[in-house]
């Protein structure tokens, strides 16, 4: 397919059609819907001009000609009946073409999928990242199926004047991507069902959390901007200024309110205690949280990120924690996985603060992520650091406490032994911790420490 700068016409792309053997049905299974602090939608009137200007500027910067060039669209019609198939179609027909064009501008990046290791809270369908140099995603993309969420009139759905199931599910998709954008300080996001895309920009006034939006139809009559140009422009806008940390941080105009005290109380003041052998999953108001995204890294079952939780009305009164955050919308089973770890902390409660971290609470944020809030216990032992006799003895002593309680850790590795400034050794990541089957199993695990 031929296209040209700066307008990037996007024609003759492969179609995605609903499979003839697909039979839709109204959802009846209960689910947890995202509940964010979004309060307003506003038309992004200047979007076509903003995109044109950023593309024109990039074109001039690298001195690219306006002569037509070819982007390799397959133009193949694909029959789809799942959201996964839509994403696969979009990767071939659109994402690769977008990457080709932005690479012409000297922008090196790609659309990462969940599980790629990007340091992000939650797992949106795609994240635009630039690799190890700048690993934090600058733009998030969320797909849905057009027969599940038509994305026709989100302002009406948001205002409650459209209440049909497709509108409700469209609104849920909007809340979900807004949640990902906010949790990761992203200014920009794209919500699409392939047939139409909503280009989103976070904005804010003193009393309102707002999303600016512009809609582009893939096959709309006389569109003001092509789908390819809109996607390319969004990446360039994000590259210029991707971060949007809220100008109204959690402590300002919130910490002094009764609502803040209720939120802290609902979180059991971060001093949760197990009841009948387990911790309750409690709501955690996002305004209480300040995530340090520079510390974010991928773990086995989600993201690990340092954070501070507001404790009282004092602006500087925060509790430092390490959060294990799992996306409950994308991976409903992660709650069960985090629950297994939570049960291990409950069973080993007497060891918390001694050889394993204190579990401050098991929380849910916005119906999007589940969080284990843990005591920071220093840094993991580096892979290239020599382990002397004294340190190894401390490692075994800490592990022995767990064994004496009748449990094995289940994952003996340097990354799971942390040392504090005072030289204490803690074991972390109890994802595989479980009751020991026999003494031989305990002995084998202790011997693994000698192999590190």
- What DSSP character marks residue 218? T
Q: How confident is the model at residue 158 (pLDDT cuts 50, 70, 90)?
A: very high
Rounded CA-CA distance 328/369 in Å is: 5
Average pLDDT estimate for 257-275: 90
Report the Cα 424 to chain-centroid distance in Å: 33
Residues 170 and 264 reside in one and the same domain: no
Q: Is the pLDDT of residue 251 over 50?
A: no
Residues 58 and 180 reside in one and the same domain: yes
- What was the pLDDT predicted at 7? 86
Average pLDDT estimate for 428-437: 95
- What was the pLDDT predicted at 19? 84
Residues 156 and 31 reside in one and the same domain: yes
Residues 178 and 268 reside in one and the same domain: no
The enclosing domain of 276 has a CATH number of 3.30.200.20
Q: How confident is the model at residue 17 (pLDDT cuts 50, 70, 90)?
A: confident
- What was the pLDDT predicted at 252? 53
Assigned domain for 64 exists: yes
- What was the pLDDT predicted at 380? 95
Rounded CA-CA distance 407/115 in Å is: 30
Average pLDDT estimate for 69-89: 84
Assigned domain for 148 exists: yes
Q: Is the pLDDT of residue 206 over 70?
A: no
Residues 25 and 168 reside in one and the same domain: yes
Q: pLDDT, tens digit, for every residue of 387-408?
A: 999 999 999 999 999 999 999 9
- What was the pLDDT predicted at 28? 43
Rounded CA-CA distance 79/97 in Å is: 21
Q: Is the pLDDT of residue 26 over 50?
A: no
Contact 239, 186 (CB under 8 A): no
- What was the pLDDT predicted at 314? 54
Assigned domain for 388 exists: yes
Residues 23 and 81 reside in one and the same domain: yes
Q: How confident is the model at residue 136 (pLDDT cuts 50, 70, 90)?
A: confident
Nearest-10 Cα torsion for 93, 94, 95, 98:
130
- What was the pLDDT predicted at 33? 66
Q: pLDDT, tens digit, for every residue of 209-222?
A: 899 999 999 887 78
Rounded CA-CA distance 122/331 in Å is: 10
The enclosing domain of 441 has a CATH number of 1.10.510.10
Rounded CA-CA distance 448/452 in Å is: 7
Assigned domain for 248 exists: no
Residues 23 and 146 reside in one and the same domain: yes
Question: Which pairing describes strands 417-419 and 407-408: parallel, antiparallel, or unpaired?
Answer: unpaired
Residues 145 and 264 reside in one and the same domain: no
Average pLDDT estimate for 37-46: 94
Assigned domain for 366 exists: yes
- What was the pLDDT predicted at 189? 98
Q: pLDDT, tens digit, for every residue of 281-314?
A: 999 999 899 999 999 988 777 899 999 998 865 5
Q: How many distinct structural domains can be found in the chain?
A: 3
Q: Picking from 1-5, 61-65, 191-195, 419-423, which range would have the lowest pLDDT averaged per residue?
A: 1-5
Q: Picking from 68-77, 113-122, 264-273, which range would have the lowest pLDDT averaged per residue?
A: 68-77
Assigned domain for 38 exists: yes
Q: Is the pLDDT of residue 23 over 70?
A: no
Assigned domain for 36 exists: yes
Which has more confidence, 184 or 207? Answer: 184
Neighbours of 129 (CB within 10 A): 22
Q: How confident is the model at residue 29 (pLDDT cuts 50, 70, 90)?
A: very low
Q: Which of 318, 344, 374 is the last residue of a domain?
A: 374
Rounded CA-CA distance 402/405 in Å is: 5
- What DSSP character marks residue 285? -
Q: Is the pLDDT of residue 323 over 90?
A: yes
Residues 369 and 386 reside in one and the same domain: no
Residues 197 and 265 reside in one and the same domain: no
Q: pLDDT, tens digit, for every residue of 63-72?
A: 988 877 877 7
Q: Is the pLDDT of residue 25 over 60?
A: no
Assigned domain for 253 exists: no
Q: Picking from 15-29, 130-144, 414-428, which range would have the lowest pLDDT averaged per residue?
A: 15-29
Residues 335 and 418 reside in one and the same domain: no
Q: Is the pLDDT of residue 156 over 70?
A: yes
Q: Is the pLDDT of residue 234 over 50?
A: yes
- 62 φ/ψ sector (left φ>0, alpha ψ -120 to 50, else beta): alpha
Rounded CA-CA distance 310/252 in Å is: 11
Domain that holds residue 404: 379-451
Instruction: Give the H/E segment covering residue 80.
Output: strand 78-80
Exposure letters 269-295 (e unless 16+ CB within 10 A, then b): ebebebeeeebebeebbbbbbebebee
The model carries a pTM of 0.91
Q: Which of 241, 271, 306 is the last residue of a domain?
A: 241
Which has more confidence, 319 or 221? Answer: 319
Q: How confident is the model at residue 74 (pLDDT cuts 50, 70, 90)?
A: low
- What was the pLDDT predicted at 308? 94
Residues 384 and 339 reside in one and the same domain: no
3-state secondary structure of 163: coil
Percent of the chain with pLDDT over 90: 69
Per-chain mean pLDDT for the chain: 89
Q: Which of 337, 359, 374 is the last residue of a domain?
A: 374
- What was the pLDDT predicted at 313? 53
- What was the pLDDT predicted at 330? 83
């Amino acid at each position: 397919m031929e296209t040209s700068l700066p307008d990037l016409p996007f024609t003759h792309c492969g179609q995605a059609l609903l499979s003839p053997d697909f039979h839709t049905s109204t959802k009846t299974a209960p689910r947890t819907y995202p509940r964010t602090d979004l309060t307003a939608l506003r038309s992004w009137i200047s979007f076509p001009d903003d995109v044109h200007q950023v593309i024109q500027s990039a074109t001039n910067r690298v001195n690219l000609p306006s002569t037509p060039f070819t982007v390799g669209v397959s133009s193949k019609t694909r029959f789809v009946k799942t959201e996964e198939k839509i994403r696969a179609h979009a990767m071939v027909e659109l994402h690769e073409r977008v990457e080709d064009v932005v690479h012409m501008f000297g922008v090196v990046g790609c659309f990462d999928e969940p599980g790629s290791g990007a340091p992000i809270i939650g797992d949106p369908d795609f994240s635009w990242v630039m690799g190890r140099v700048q690993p934090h995603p600058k733009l998030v993309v969320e797909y849905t199926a057009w027969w599940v969420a038509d994305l026709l009139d989100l302002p009406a759905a948001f205002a409650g004047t459209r209440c049909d199931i497709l509108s409700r599910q469209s609104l849920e998709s909007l809340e979900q991507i807004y949640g990902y954008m906010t949790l990761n300080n992203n200014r920009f996001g794209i919500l699409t069902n392939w047939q139409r895309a909503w280009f989103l920009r976070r904005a804010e006034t003193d009393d309102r959390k707002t999303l600016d939006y512009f809609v582009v139809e893939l096959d709309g009559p006389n569109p003001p901007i092509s789908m390819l140009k809109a996607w390319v422009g969004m990446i360039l806008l994000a590259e210029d200024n991707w971060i949007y940390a809220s100008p109204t941080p959690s402590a300002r105009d919130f910490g002094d309110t009764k609502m803040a005290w209720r939120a802290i109380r609902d979180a059991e003041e971060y001093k949760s205690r197990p009841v009948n052998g387990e911790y309750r999953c409690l709501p955690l108001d996002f305004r209480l949280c300040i995530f340090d995204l520079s510390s974010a890294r991928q773990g086995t079952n989600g993201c690990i990120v340092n954070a501070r939780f507001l404790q009282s009305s004092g602006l500087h009164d925060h509790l430092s924690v390490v959060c294990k955050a799992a996306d409950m919308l994308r991976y409903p089973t992660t709650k069960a996985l985090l629950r297994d770890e939570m049960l291990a902390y409950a069973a080993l409660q007497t060891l918390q603060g001694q050889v394993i971290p204190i579990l401050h609470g098991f929380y849910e944020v916005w119906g999007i992520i589940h969080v284990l809030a843990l005591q920071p216990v220093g840094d993991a032992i580096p892979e290239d650091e020599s382990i002397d006799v004294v340190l190894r003895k401390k490692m075994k002593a800490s592990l022995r406490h767990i064994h004496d309680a009748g449990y094995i850790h289940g994952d003996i590795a340097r990354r799971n032994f942390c040392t504090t400034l005072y030289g204490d050794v803690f074991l972390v990541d109890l994802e595989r911790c479980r009751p020991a089957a026999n003494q031989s199993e305990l002995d084998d695990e202790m011997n693994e420490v000698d192999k590190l």
